[in-house]
Amino acid sequence: MVGTNFRWWRRPGFYIVAVVLVVCLAPAAAPLIGNNFYVLVDGQAYRSAQPNGEEIRKYALERGIATILNLRGANSGAPWYDEEVATARQLGIEHIDFAMSARRELTPERAMELISIMKNARKPLLIHCRAGADRTGLASALYMAFIAHRGEAAAESQLSLRFGHYALPVIGTEQMDLTWEAMEPYFGFPKS
């Protein structure tokens, strides 16, 4: 049992560790706080977290979004989904649902189906999931490799802390990285 004289929060080491954690973790958490909107290929493809109606209107006006690819899958009755579909319909934006989980690997067949959807969708395309980090990161990596032909480094960078993606087994999101690794030979990339 810890005595009453031990006050860990008064020790200088506690504050040093706390400051280091804040400085290191704040940039990695930033994408998860905002809308996580980024350009993949300007005028062609963008990525984001779950957009609300106002954000969809903004993206349509500023970027000319013609198609929304929702990686969360159809979810009629959920307020976020109904708002997204209604806003897309009002603006004449095509809406595509592709259900996938951040905690399960995509089979190569499903990954190729996703690539086909992205390739054939009217552009500009907005790709999103809930946080815009894991599922969107994988879809963005596939887009950069197979459709934009930007190379392995540009593709792999889509699955990174910059976008809020943590490939940790304890949270299950490493499945997106495992899917990417399994797909690399399809693009002629060596497995890394």
The DSSP call for residue 55 is H
**For residue 56, pLDDT beyond 70:** yes
What is the per-residue DSSP string for 126-171?
EEE-SSSSSHHHHHHHHIIIIIS---HHHHHTTSSGGGT----TTT
CB-CB neighbours of 166 under 10 Å: 16
Report CA-CA distances (Å) from 135 to 1, 13, 105, 160, 168. 45, 38, 10, 12, 14
Report CA-CA distances (Å) from 125 to 42, 122, 153. 10, 7, 22
**For residue 190, pLDDT beyond 50:** yes
pLDDT, tens digit (0-9, with 9 covering 90-100), for 37-50: 999 999 999 999 99
Instruction: Please indicate, yes or no, if residue 3 is contained in any of the structural domains.
Output: no
Number of H helices, E strands in the chain: 7, 5
Rounded Cα distance between 90 and 8, Å, is 57
Instruction: Please indicate, yes or no, if residue 86 is contained in any of the structural domains.
Output: yes
pLDDT, tens digit (0-9, with 9 covering 90-100), for 157-171: 888 888 888 777 666
pLDDT, tens digit (0-9, with 9 covering 90-100), for 58-89: 999 999 999 999 999 999 999 999 999 999 99
Instruction: Please indicate, yes or no, if residue 1 is contained in any of the structural domains.
Output: no
- Least confident range from 18-22, 74-78, 97-101, 105-109: namely 18-22
Residue type, 97: D
> How many distinct structural domains can be found in the chain?
1
Question: What is the span of the domain harbouring residue 143?
Answer: 8-187
Instruction: Please indicate, yes or no, if residue 2 is contained in any of the structural domains.
Output: no
Instruction: Please indicate, yes or no, if residue 182 is contained in any of the structural domains.
Output: yes
Rounded Cα distance between 140 and 154, Å, is 10
Rounded Cα distance between 64 and 55, Å, is 12
Rounded Cα distance between 133 and 99, Å, is 15
Rounded Cα distance between 39 and 50, Å, is 15
Q: Which residues pair with 128 in a beta bridge?
A: 48, 70
Rounded Cα distance between 63 and 55, Å, is 11
pLDDT attached to residue 125: 99
- % of the chain residues with pLDDT over 90: 65
Q: What is the CATH number of the domain that holds 124?
A: 3.90.190.10
